[in-house]
Structure 1
Amino acid sequence: MIRVQVPATTANLGPGFDCLGMALELYNIVEFSKISRGLVIEVEGDGAEELPRNEKNLVYRAARRVFERACRVPEGLRIKLVNNIPVGRGLGSSASAIVGGIIAANVMCGANLSMREMLNLACSMEGHPDNIAPALLGGLIIYTSVEGEITWTKIDLPPALKAVVAIPDFIMNTRDTREALPQLVTMRDAVYNIGRAALLVAALQKGDLSILGTAMDDRLHQPYRQGAIPGFKKVISAARLAGARGVALSGAGPTIVALADGNFELIAEVMKNTFRECGVGARTMILAPGPVGARALEVI
């Protein structure tokens, strides 16, 4: 049996649209084992009632890419998924499925894919590296694509930093929210985001969290997505008043992430209560950044 652990991720972090992503210490588990024939998929945890248990399952589809590339498709495969990452909430559940399937298949069939090969393969399925890169590599990743190849670097984070995530009880489809984004933006908005993304990276590297409130502002994607999230502005304001250093939409949403170095329980409480006052049920988690990306825990 092969067991792989994959972290949740939060992408964009405000101004870093499609170029910043951070792993979080919340994990999905993917288990692969060979059987005599056929495909058996078991799912526990989040999404257990909705996720497909056939060849349409995203973990299997990712694994199949590796098997076919290595010309070693197993006659029978059993997949067990233990999902702790909420599905469709902007915390990288699809990235975790893709990365988990690729790593498990790579180990099972001995494809010997390098980290870069797995990264490029995963990104070809997801379409963008915002969650893929931190899920595979861990930590806070800055990334871009150069002639089809992902170029990335990891930066160290302040040790006291944690993410408080408020997870509404409804799903947002990433494809739909991307279609809501404009194809062209003004020079003023582009400059606005470039400055804040640079400020955000510098603040995190230096450990100067006092400027995150400004550094995590955004004009490229949040203004076009916030209308689908009741109470969005109120939750952000409440989190800041409770002590959050910076607050933003996590990925495509609807989860809102607050970065902080204290008052974690208070921030979580006010975010949850503010969502409730706006007619939205939500749960909260306090998560440390995940310095380690996806990895095989057991090979038996």
Structure 2
Amino acid sequence: MKITVPATSANLGCGFDSIGIAVNRYLTIEVLEKADVWQVEHTLGEEIPSNADNLLIETALQVKSDLVPHRIKMTSDIPLTRGLGSSSSVIVAGIELANQLGKLELTQDEKLNIACKIEGHPDNVAPALLGNLVVASFIDGEAYAIPLHFPYCALLAYIPNTELSTKRSREVLPSSLSFEDAVKASAISNVMIAALSKHHLHLAGKMIEQDLFHEKYRTPLVPEITTIREIAKKHNAYATYLSGAGPTVMMFVASNLRKNLALELEKLELDGEVVYLEIDRIGVNISGFED
């Protein structure tokens, strides 16, 4: 019995807290035999609890408090605190765990609402649940989401070896924008969504890199993004942006240009890994559950 949830890359520059894509790194939850207490077996580090304090189980019990404990095996190739939605994948998996073990028959809308109430915003949990590109909002306790088919292109990510907590990354953001800047930022985001929906990657990329909401404030925390963007432009990448709260830097590029861009970035000898990624089109996947 397995639950598989993809990693996610949020914001896409100007889609702050509301837009994300699912990518092909995965959290996998294997539900094994019933147990006296919850047991979560993993190799993700001592700081990740192996009992009911694990975020997976905490989430599941928020959805249904009387679930029968099981032994769980958790594996993941989603790096922690790197801006690839590692915690959101666990939240989505926890909701699905409760849904399956509790036979709740939750709809996708119900799952998304629960996830947003726990996470606070939809940019990671929505694509983790639905796959592909998702434009979403969470307003007055109600989630709204529109999945879109992300236009075909290759993805390339620079994933630093250093962590960057969402809390620290949010601390550098301004508490408000001027009305003029807010209108401009909103217009940029609107055009980006329209361009992506029409598969106009050149225009979408231009808008992504004109973000006014967060990147300019977070760049000092991830200074290598400036050099990476310059090199990506030389290789005709569509866009380079800070994935989620960072520090991962994501690039959209034509598939025939990705290898040369990757080789050029590796020459920088930065403290991190250059990774090929693809869009996950499925979202959360469940297999093997029985009545």
TM-score by length of 1: 0.90
Instruction: Find the residue that maps to 2:28 and give its secondary structure.
Output: strand
Matched, 1:22 2:36: no
Q: Residue 52 of structure 2 aligns to which amino acid in structure 1? A: E
Q: Give the Å deviation of 1:48.
A: 3.5
Of 163, 167, 180, the residue aligned with 1:171 is 163
Match of 1:299, SS?
coil
Deviation at 1:49, TM superposition (A): 4.3
Tell me the equivalent position of 1:132. Answer: 125
Change in Cα spacing, 1:73 to 1:156, as seen in structure 2 (3 Å) is closer
Query: How far did 1:157 drift?
Result: 2.2
Q: Could you report, residue by residue, the CA deviation over 1:17-43 in whole angstroms, capped at 9, with x for unpaired residues?
A: 011111112211012234231121111
> Which residue is 2:53 aligned to?
56
Q: Please tell me whether the aligned partners of residues 158 and 274 of structure 2 are also in contact (alpha carbons under 8 angstroms).
A: yes
Quick one: distance in 2 between partners of 1:39 and 1:144? Answer: 33
Q: Which runs of 5+ in 2 are unaligned?
A: none
The aligned counterpart of 2:254 is 261
Q: Report what 1:11 is aligned to.
A: 10
What is the CA RMSD across the aligned residues, in angstroms? 1.6
Aligned residue number for residue 274 of structure 2? 284
1:271 to 256, 265, 273: 265
Match of 1:65 in 2: 62
Who is 1:40 aligned against?
39
- Report the Cα distance in structure 1 between the residues aligned to 2:98 and 2:284, rounded to whole angstroms: 13
Alpha-carbon offset, residue 98 of structure 1:
0.5
SS in 1 for 2:100: helix
What residue ranges of structure 1 are gaps of 5+ in the alignment?
none
What does the per-residue CA deviation read over 1:193-231, in whole Å, with 9 as the maximum and x for residues that have no partner? Answer: 222212222222222222234211212111111111132
Aligned length: 288
1:298 alignment partner in structure 2: 288
For the residue of structure 2 that corresponds to 1:38, the secondary structure is coil
Once the two structures are overlaid, the 10-residue window that deviates more, 87-96 or 208-217, is 208-217
Structure 2 counterpart of 1:228: 221
CA contact (8 A) 1:10 1:251 kept: yes
SS at match of 1:135: helix
Among all aligned residue pairs of Structure 1 and Structure 2, give the percentage whose two residues are the same amino acid.
Answer: 34
1:142-168 superposed Cα distances (whole Å, 9 cap, x missing partner)? 111243111111112223x12211100
Say if 2:102 is the partner of 1:112: no
Question: Take 1:212 and 1:231, find their aligned partners in 2: how far apart are those partners?
Answer: 22
Deviations 1:97-131 (A, max 9, x none): 01011102210121222212211111111111110
Q: Distance in 1 between matches of 2:6 and 2:89?
A: 7
Q: Which residue of 2 aligns with 1:98?
A: 91
Is 2:200 aligned against 1:203?
no
